[in-house]
Amino acid sequence: DLSRLLSAAVLSRESAPRTGATRVVFDRRRQRVLVGGITASAAFPVSPGAFQTRMGSDQGAKYVAILDPALTRLVASTLLGGKSREGAVSGLLTDRAGNVFVGGSTFSSDYPTTERAFKRAVGLGQVWGAVSKLSPDLTTLVASTFVGEVGNDFVYSIALDRRENIVFAGAG
């Protein structure tokens, strides 16, 4: 009935708000809470061994964090982005194996992609949709690609079909 706050978590404590959460997902299978968003905080907590431990620019990076169900312990956390501005996480989900899928947009032509990506290279100075798949512990970029055709492309939502193929929606 929304009359009580059962729990809450703060990921980065700075006087200026430099971290924002844009997606929260509860992974019932693994009993964990996933949070995705954007941060420009140099103090953002990143796990040892995380896929990306530093921001590519002072303009910020996407982040994915995994917390225990009580929101009392940070289980894993990684940054995700290139050397230019990042859009917020607009899609966040897990598959049966626990891999973490992230959807969003980026201005970074060097956003991390993987060898067999649908699109590995894009033009400079445009915004591109991006979809990435991280390992369950956020230490490995399993798959990642740009999406879109001419720039000014956005990924707003992601889902998995029954065969666990990624499906996304956006604009461009």
pLDDT at 15: 55
- Please give the average per-residue pLDDT across 27-44, as a whole number: 93
Q: What mean pLDDT is predicted for residues 36-59?
A: 91
Nearest partner of 59 among 77, 79, 76, 78, judged by Cα: 79
Instruction: List, for residues 67-105, the tens digit of each pLDDT value.
Output: 999 999 999 999 999 999 899 899 999 999 999 999 999
pLDDT tens digits for range 120-153: 877 766 888 999 999 999 999 999 999 987 778 8
Q: pTM score, two decimals?
A: 0.92
SS (H, E, C) 2-38: CCCCCCCCCCCCCCCCCEEEEEEEEECCCCEEEEEEE
* Contacts within 8 Å (CB) and 24+ apart, 41-46: 41/12, 41/14, 43/12, 43/13, 43/14, 44/11, 44/12, 44/19, 44/77, 44/79, 45/11, 45/12, 45/74, 45/77, 46/77, 46/78, 46/79
